[in-house]
Structure 1
């Protein structure tokens, strides 16, 4: 009798168990924007939908565009990196990097038109690294500058 009660309790526990909640990164409202004094970053619908370009695969990945604009000082040696989180992991998955993006001058812009993001991801990180121009005592720019990094994190709102 005790065995039957134990089995019944176990079955009830597992059948009524705690529901697992997983939430995929699907932006309800696009574009979504984050900015700072130096950078403006926008995630939007994929821009390149021409045949032969990366297209979303239902249940596997969606595609987005990432737009970055320099709204601050002139800088040098800029790098853009894009990551997404790995479901059930503390690590991020590297998606893309660009060092030839031309984001040196104020108002310069960069766009990656089709970034595939796994449907299980819940976070996108856009990391921007750059160097600030340093000036010598005669007000002439030097190439060795302070290095900076800024991370913009996008999650579903």
Structure 2
């Protein structure tokens, strides 16, 4: 090996630059190689500024479509929630997702179309909203008592005003 190293013709070429410089040089060449035809082709195929093909990245917000639940879905989920409140055995949203896909109406037909199927998060959110509404719900008897007290106070104020 020593003889080979001493006698052989070995030339070592230093790398002209770093990998980053190499990338910059390639980018420069590709930019200079753009022709009018290339730019025209990009515009014709819809690869313009702001098109969907150019919008890429992990930090971009995705469009969220707002979908209202049908009355059929609302009544189904409300019944399941109320049954859980009565029995004390709360329904698991993942079980409700599976049951929703096989639910049948009185005639034996599928109760929901595939467009009406909900995801686990949607069902959990719906149950959460129902629970909050139930906690915040004031009994009607309390509202009536409060209303009676207000009416009595107004009548009393009118009577005092008439006396003065």
Normalised by the shorter chain, which TM-score bucket? under 0.3
More helix by share: 2
Q: TM-score, with normalisation over the residues of structure 2?
A: 0.20
More strand by share: 1
Q: TM-score, with normalisation over the residues of structure 1?
A: 0.21
Computing the radius of gyration from Cα coordinates, the structure with the larger value is: 2
Greater RCO (Cα-Cα under 8 Å, separation 6 or more): 1
